[in-house]
């Protein structure tokens, strides 16, 4: 990796860290986005959302509910980044199934 590419990557990663650390998760959707940014695992996010007492249509949150939020049109910059990561992770998982 070239030095200039490494420096650019550091700047991008620091921006991502700042976005996550300063994110205001006030709704179900924004909480899902935030938790996915931390864990990058839809099952883990569903478990956390259930532990926090969230419900979707009167039922516990499932990984499908989390995926649905991540597939929505991005509402902010972090959502846009997380959606891209979700799609990338999904492609990697599909290779092994």
pLDDT digits (tens, 9 = 90+) for 7-33: 999 999 999 999 999 999 999 999 999
pLDDT digits (tens, 9 = 90+) for 61-94: 999 999 999 999 999 999 999 999 999 887 666 5
What the block records as the tokens of 59 is 């039922």
b/e map 42-78, b = 16+ CB within 10 Å: beebbbbbeeeeeebeeeebeeebbbebbeeeeeeeb
Residue 97 confidence (pLDDT) above 60: no
Assigned domain for 58 exists: yes
Domain count, the chain: 1
Assigned domain for 9 exists: no
> Residue 92: its pLDDT value, please?
61
Residue 41's domain comprises 24-95
pTM metric for this prediction: 0.89
Helix axes 77-95, 28-39, angle to 10 degrees: 50
Assigned domain for 17 exists: no
């Amino acid at each position: 990796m070239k030095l200039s590419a490494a420096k650019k990557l550091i700047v991008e990663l620091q921006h991502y860290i700042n976005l996550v650390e300063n994110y205001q998760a006030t709704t179900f959707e924004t909480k899902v986005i935030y938790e996915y940014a931390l864990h990058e695992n839809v099952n883990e996010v569903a478990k956390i959302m259930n532990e926090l007492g969230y419900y979707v249509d009167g039922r516990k949150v499932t990984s499908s509910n989390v995926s649905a939020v991540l597939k929505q049109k991005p509402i902010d910059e972090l959502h846009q980044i997380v959606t891209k990561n979700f799609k990338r992770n999904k492609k990697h998982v599909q290779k092994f199934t």
